[in-house]
Chains A and B, each alone.
Chain A
Amino acid sequence: MTAAASSAPVVLDIVDLIVSLGKKPDADRIIDGVSLQVRQGETLCVVGESGSGKSVTSLTVMGLLPRNALTPTRGKIILAGENVLEAGDRRLRQLRATTMAMIFQEPMTALNPVVPVGRQIDEVLRVHTGLDARARRERILAMMEQVRLPDVARIFKSYPHQLSGGQRQRIMIAMALVLEPKLLIADEPTTALDVTTQKQILSLIRDLQKDHGTAVLFITHDMGVVAEIADRVVVMRQGRIVETGTLENILRQPTMEYTRNLLASVPSLVPRAPRPASTEPIVLQANALGKIYREHAFLGRGREVTAAADVTLTLRKGRTLGIVGESGSGKSTVARCIVRLIDPTCGEIRLGGHDISTLSRQRLRPHRKRIQIVFQDPYRSLNPRITVGETIAEGPVNYGVPHAEAIKRAGELLELVDLPADAISRYPHQFSGGQRQRIAIARALALDPDVLVADEAVSALDVSVQAQVLELLDEIQTRLGIGLLFITHDLRVAAQICDDVAVMQHGRVVEQGPAGEILTHPQQAYTKQLLDAAPGRHWDFANFRPVAVAAATAS
């Protein structure tokens, strides 16, 4: 594949691009001297963590930079022989549909919610071709079939909200490719999708590229996705290119330290060595837990949605139980029921022997401190107006610890989560995402809980930061003997931190058992499907070799 691509004509040639914050010559450079080439029929993956400038690069190519905020100050972007940076607005509009096209991360917000999707694709053809209505419709239906949408005549008339996330992304791809552009820019197109859908979309992009010979500039933060789709890889960091190479070279023999660290941070799908079975006391038990949402209709009967049903879980002291599943599987509902942020409809939650599932607010209070939660979004889970010290001390103060003592303890906790002691008097906005998540963990630990619930606690973090936070959780568990209920959609993360795993689908637990068993020899079809869809499952990134080799050396 690579050999064939290397002789193909260059579609996109970015030469020494500099994008600055503002127009002054001494302004901060967001993109600093980036050069890259994409050839016809080739997929170039730009990979990097947040703030690496990968998205800004793609927006610059499309001419979509926010005006007056970011300005390309030097360099050239040659698209099929034409410098895009010198093109006027009218020319750019022409180029955008006919020569280059873009698909975005969130297909819901990229589509107009009040126009049927067929008409949205039609608009592209109306503006850029002279075809009559019937020819346009035929072409759109053919394109929709190419992106493997079912029942195209019905979907043609559907509104975006009537389609699933995967279908919406297919519509976006159809819209992008309907005029057969030479270059397709895909900016994290599968990040908002579930793994099974992601797998389908990735293979779709691959196949369409083969048929049309499109050059693809694929932007992602996920090494697994890179391993699935890339021919060549560009690693970016802080606006500069760290390393460029073929997929094989980057994965097997990365030359730069940063690339090696990045790859080493990718958690392996192979479960870690199991810890000996535990006979410690059970700290948390959920029995036949269920949650039904009732929509109250003004007249007539309300609708009922079962978010969780018959969920039974057991967590022992010092162990980690993972709940994995795709979006809508009910895993977060279960977590929130267990912490009693929402009230379960039925079932039992036994926390250290007491059933807390139906306790009133007052009677729940003494039990609250024994179970704490860490949320997904570190930017929203800390009150921006309160200092870090006060945030951590809030819980102990609620339970009668004198303020001065609570603040002192907050300082110790900050040390435990590897933050500087002076963090105590600072505000959350002065910290990065990973640091904030550490603060949230410190807050949860301040009450000495028996159980810590981590609801997608590392999902919003970059992989290197994610690895550090996982390490921290592991260390805290060994030191404090805390029970960890770990909710995640990421099987890699689950494989590295969980002793036991419960797989959820449609509100029910489909399979449950030791992580080593479930993630290597799944019994249920759904679990197999999930494992099979995990991107980059054939690569053992941290050891720079395919999984097959690792298995061979192990046996």
Chain B
Amino acid sequence: MAVDALPEPSIRVTPRRVGRNALRSSPIIVVAIICLTTIVLLAILAPLISPHDPQLLAPALRLKPASAEFPLGTDAYGRDVLSRIIYGGRISLLIGLGAALFSIAIGLLIGLVSGFFRWVDAVMMRIMDGLMAIPSILLAIAVVSLSGASLSTVLIAITIPEIPRVARLVRSIVLSAREEPYVEAAISVGSSLPKIMWRHLMPNTIAPLIVQGTYVCASAILTEAILSFLGAGISPEVPTWGNIMAEGRAFFQIKPSLIFWPGLMLSIAILSVNLIGDAARDALDPRLKQREGRK
């Protein structure tokens, strides 16, 4: 019994441990987290902290330079740029978060089913291949122009091209996890298929999906800005970072800051999300973590 009772080195991946390792690995992550938190707080508290109404037109105050009243100046219609940028963050983050959640939810479902059933796999993956063959911006423009520009159509248009990527990721994890003896053991104790998928297969996908989610989030924010900039996004009077830049384009030579500030916010937001995603990937990757564990 003495030999039997030898303890195993414990190498479980707990969230707290992951977080601690990620922080230790590089101080840049701390900066990224602070930046993202700030942007999120600004967006949530926008009505409380923005100095002006972002949609209030004031023709007398067109294109004013930065001043105490308008810290970043005003745009071509006399609206406060700072307020518009703060409010713009709301749409961008909403789109980013929404696209990440929806694409993961739908992709997870498709991936689980196609990973487990051969015949569904054959059909589903060909549809996914087809979707991936269409450039995502083009697809988004087509969807928006067919059904009219609104927050929900833009969100749908951005989510659709992300689904195949998530579905393929989940499918590949399920394909290898279903060969594990513990899944076979679940089959032999008579567990139903939904139970096997939910209880034994799905948990394997969580860590990679968190990472994938951050990438989807960043690319959705960017796509939304591109769509707005191209005039194919949410209607122009609604402040989004893309819309602000699109309007600023005409006055680029007189007042470049109209493009600079929203562009800076966009870059910081995307960079932060991507850095956090990279850190999460490093921290959650079992190949990096379990090396030292079992021989």
Contacts and interface: CB of A to CB of B under 8 A. Distances in A.
Interface of A: 49-51, 55, 69, 339, 341, 365, 368-369, 371-373, 375-377, 379-386, 394-395, 398-399, 427, 429-432, 434-435, 440, 443-444, 446-447, 462, 464-465, 468
A341 B187 contact: yes
Given A375-B181, A379-B294, A462-B3, A430 B186 contact: no
Contact of B8 (A365, A375, A432): A432
A430 B4 contact: no
A341 B12 contact: no
List the 4 shortest-distance A-B pairs measured between CB atoms, nearest first: A395-B189, A381-B181, A375-B181, A383-B182
A543 to B, nearest CB: 22
Interface in B150-196: 180-182, 184-192, 195
B267 to A, nearest CB: 37
B3 A464 contact: yes
Nearest to A382: B182
B191 A394 contact: yes
Given A380-B180, A386-B199, A398 B4 contact: no
B10 A430 contact: yes
A174 B295 CA distance: 27
Interface of B: 1, 3-8, 10-12, 180-182, 184-192, 195, 199-200, 203, 292, 294-295
Given A341-B188, A368-B188, A398-B189, A427 B4 contact: no
B189 A429 contact: no
A381 B185 contact: yes
Nearest to A339: B188
Given A385-B203, A446-B189, A464 B4 contact: yes
B190 A398 contact: yes
> Which has the most chain A C-beta neighbours within 10 Å: B8, B190, B191, B200?
B190
A430 B190 contact: no
Contacts of A383: 182, 186, 199-200
A294 to B, nearest CB: 14
A399 B195 CA distance: 13
A375 B3 contact: no
A465 B4 contact: yes
Nearest to A262: B3
B152 to A, nearest CB: 36
18 contacts: A50-B295, A51-B6, A369-B189, A371-B188, A372-B188, A372-B189, A380-B180, A383-B182, A394-B189, A395-B189, A427-B12, A430-B8, A435-B5, A440-B185, A443-B185, A443-B189, A468-B1, A468-B4
Nearest to A395: B189
A434 B7 CA distance: 11
A415 B14 CA distance: 29
Nearest to B201: A383
A70 B60 CA distance: 74
B185 A365 contact: no
> Which has the most chain A C-beta neighbours within 10 Å: B12, B180, B185, B199?
B185
Contacts of B5: 432, 435
A55 B295 CA distance: 10
> Which has the most chain A C-beta neighbours within 10 Å: B8, B182, B203, B292?
B182
A70 to B, nearest CB: 10
Nearest to B4: A434
Contacts of B7: 430, 432
Contacts of B203: 385
Contact of B4 (A369, A429, A432, A443): A432
Contact of B186 (A394, A435, A468): A394
A383 B203 CA distance: 10
A447 B187 CA distance: 13
Contact of B11 (A379, A429, A431): A429
Contacts of B192: 398
B4 A375 contact: no
